[in-house]
Amino acid sequence: MNKTILYQMHLDAGAKMVDFGGWQMPINYGSQIEEHHAVRNDCGMFDVSHMTIIDVQGDDATAFLYRLLAGDITKININQALYSTMLNPDGGVIDDLIVYKQADHQYRIISNAATRDKDMAWLNQQAQNFKVRIQEQTDLAILALQGPRAEQRLQSLLSTDLASLKKFYALQDNALFIGRTGYTGEDGFEVVLPAKDAPALWQQLIKADVTPCGLGARDTLRLEAGLHLYGQDMDENISPINCGLAWSVRKKDHDFIGGPVIAEQRQNGAEQKLVGLVLEGRGVLRHGQIVCDDNGEIGIITSGGYSPTTEKAIAFARIPKDNMNQSLFVQIRNKQLPCGVVKPPFVRNGQSLLEE
């Protein structure tokens, strides 16, 4: 089982550890709900050092990523980030990722932990006809600071002015690579640094009153914010057109792997869509539960759980594109429980978007 450089610090802080994609990671430090609220109202931090960091450089780096990714890598400037999917020839999602342009012909990809081996094999296979160097950076760690006071907390430790850093841009502060990105729907930063320096930064942030948060809060935060989770809301059998990620796919051309399938889907119209569900009454919505209308089964919940901010059970569900129902049912045990249909996100700027 893999462990991040902060493993012992998690234990010392009383974390409950779980297996996540082959890594021992903290699910919470006592109260997932309190950690969730810390991020929504103040500032929390996550150890996300299990994620995969891949540097791509060389004369053909831009051309390679233009072919590899469904997003348009040519649209971003130096120090800017792009969210994109990486597709197979059938248009299914191999992974979703963030890529930063660090310099001309030099990029940094941050992708999911559970897809590490698959991603590296795919990149190396597709790079054979391009002049590029692909290197996984295993000696780096990542800390994510998220919340309305994230800038204030991190700024107290730096000389670089963070206020001028726009969202989805990055800067270099000595050994720190700081992106104004995150996975919670709040303002925040993802700090990439040498692994050996991560424990010291963690301790500094603890002293700056930043709350350690586990993967449990990370999941409820991203669900409230309408953010997808690879392996649940998308996978190799689902295209971005059919899972609510059409916005991330470039329209100028379809000269990327899986592009011809995507072009056909766009021309014919998506068959499925991802909607938000809010359970009316008591119960819990979970991945894999069946979604029904008055005529029977129509779809499935891809992600679900209790929302601490709205105090309701919420979920994403994949259903037919032409379904216009404002209410559906979810099969829980032997009962069909009614749900309202909404457009994610469920929460913005720390406030519920759901009508009372």
CB-based contact 111:54 (threshold 8 Å): yes
Domain ranges of the chain: 2-49+138-224, 271-352
Instruction: Please provide the CATH number assigned to the domain covering 271-352.
Output: 2.40.30.110
CA atoms of 150 and 188, how far apart (whole Å): 5
- Structure-token match 């037919």, residue found: 320
Short-list 347, 351, 354, 218, CA closest to 278: 354
Instruction: Please provide the CATH number assigned to the domain covering 2-49+138-224.
Output: 3.30.1360.120
Backbone phi, then psi, for 309, in 5-degree steps?
-75, -45
Averaged pLDDT in 10-residue chunks for the chain of 356 residues = 97 96 96 98 98 98 98 98 98 98 98 97 98 98 98 96 98 96 98 98 97 98 98 98 97 96 95 97 96 96 98 98 94 94 96 88
- Exposed/middle/buried for residue 75 (C-beta within 10 Å: 0-12, 13-18, 19+): exposed
The CA distances from residue 224 to 44, 154, 278, in Å, are 16, 24, 11
Beta strand pairing status for 93-103 and 296-307? unpaired
Angle at 133 between CA 131 and CA 136, to 5 degrees: 155
CA atoms of 144 and 139, how far apart (whole Å): 17
Q: Which residues pair with 171 in a beta bridge?
A: 178
Token readout for 147 is 């919340």
pLDDT at 250: 97
CA atoms of 285 and 68, how far apart (whole Å): 35
